[in-house]
Each structure stands twice: as structure tokens, then as C-alpha cells.
Amino acid sequence: MVVTAAGSAEEAVRRWVDAAGGRLVLDGGLATELEANGADLNDPLWSAKCLLSSPHLIRKVHMDYLEAGANIIITASYQATIQGFESKGFSKEQSENLLTKSVEIALEAREMFLKEHLEKSTPIQHPVLVAASLGSYGAYLADGSEYSGDYGEAGTKEFLKDFHRRRLQVLAEAGPDLIAFETIPNKLEAEVYYFAIRVFCLAFLSILRKQFLIVGNFVFFRRMSNFSRSATSISLHGFPSTQKMECIL
């Protein structure tokens, strides 16, 4: 579900948080767990390489995090771009299909998780959500600029809009519950994503070592942390008048 109005976004998050008992739990690092399961990520595509070579491992990691108690699993599309796949020899259509596949794998993992627990007579009562990850332009470059924000001549608003527009559209149309804008290193790219947030009002937005949950007009702050086989708990207790609240890890 992609929410397109601030009011409905707020209502959706309230329902999810209430249904989860007052807190939502994010999954942990995807690449770390893929490597722990034997994946070789020595490639500019990083974890997105597994969309080509071992999608079953992506599904397994999603399932592992759900079994560990995560409410939200994030797709293997952080470093997946149409341009990146085309550089590997794929057509534009094939590249877009791979982006869609990243969401489909997460949706399949959720369906399998819910079905397995239903068959065991232990039905899952809490929300299980899929967030489609969208990394910065620097993540595509795979040169560390997703942390420095130094994009050189490519660092213009129109260029970044063109770079992200179709990718975001494909991911959104694949049917995730959330769009995750990750590792945004500069104000310019944040402004480009702000344009997208006005369309897709419910999103995760991270800037270097800080992350924000955008829910309509509300901004939730949390620090990033490195973790493996554990989940980060975000507690959302109401919406303050300042439109900003610190979340609990």
C-alpha cells in the first residue's frame, strides 16, 4: 500500500503501531546476513547481486528476521538501479523486472511466514510490513559517495530527479507498504526525495547516520546502529505538537 494523503498516512501508522502493541520493529542488516549465509557480495550491485544469483537467500534472510520478531522487512534494492543492471548487460525492461522482483521476494517471504504460522496454529497477530529500499545516487556509484555526497557534475537536482524517478515508480508499483529512502548524503538529494515524499507520504528517510520516519507532516528521529540477527525497536507513542519525537532503540 502506498499512502497518498497525509491524513491517511498518519491513520495507517497509528493502526500499525497499535496493532503491534505500541512499537514497530525493523529488521537488521541484509548484506551482513546474506554473507553469513554464504553469499558473495563483492560486486558493485552489493546485496542486489543476489537478485540475480541467489534470490532464495534473500527470502531466507527476510524469513529469519520475521521469525526474530521484525514487523518491517526491507527489500534487497538499496543498490539496485536500472542503470546498474543495464551496465551488466540487462535491458531496461529486465532491469525494471529485477527491481520488481526485490519487492516480490519480500512479499513472498511475508506470505510464507504468515502461512507457516497459520498451519502451526500460531497465527501472527502483529503487522508484517514490506519497505522497498531506495538507495542514493552514491550507492549506485559504489565509490563511497553515498556518505560524502560528492557527486561532481552529476550533482544537480534535475539529474537526480531523472535518476530516481522511474526506479521509484517501479518499486512503488510493485506493492510495498513503505518506501525506504536510505543513506542520503546531501541536502540536494534530500530535496529530490522531498518531492517524492509529497507523492508517497509514508517513507523512511535516512541522512548519513540519522534516520527519519516521514508520516504525513510528522518526522521521527532515530540513530542508526549496526546489528546482526537482531532487530531495532522503534516505539511511537503519540504524535507531539512539535511534529518531532525521539524514538527508542
pLDDT tens string 211-232: 444 433 333 333 333 322 333 3
Rounded to an integer, what distance in angstroms lies between the CA atom of residue 224 and that of residue 203? Answer: 16
Residue where the block lists cell 554473507: 35
CATH topology of domain 6-246: TIM Barrel (3.20.20)
Kindly report the backbone phi and psi dihedral angles of residue 25, in degrees, each rounded to the nearest multiple of 5, phi listed first: -115, 120
When mean pLDDT is compared across 20-24, 81-85, 139-143, 160-164, the lowest value belongs to: 20-24
The answer to whether 206 and 181 are in contact (CB under 8 A) is yes
Grid look-up 540475480 returns 52
**CA–CA separation, 233 vs 222, rounded Å?**
10
Band (pLDDT 50/70/90 cuts) for residue 19 is confident
Q: Are 15 and 219 in contact (CB under 8 A)?
A: no
Chain mean position to CA 12:
17
Helices (H), ranges, 68-119: 82-86, 92-119
Least confident of 64-73, 82-91, 232-241: 232-241
Closest CA to 178 of 63, 31, 19, 24: 24
- What is the pLDDT at residue 15? 83
CA nearest to 84, candidates 94, 74, 75, 95: 95
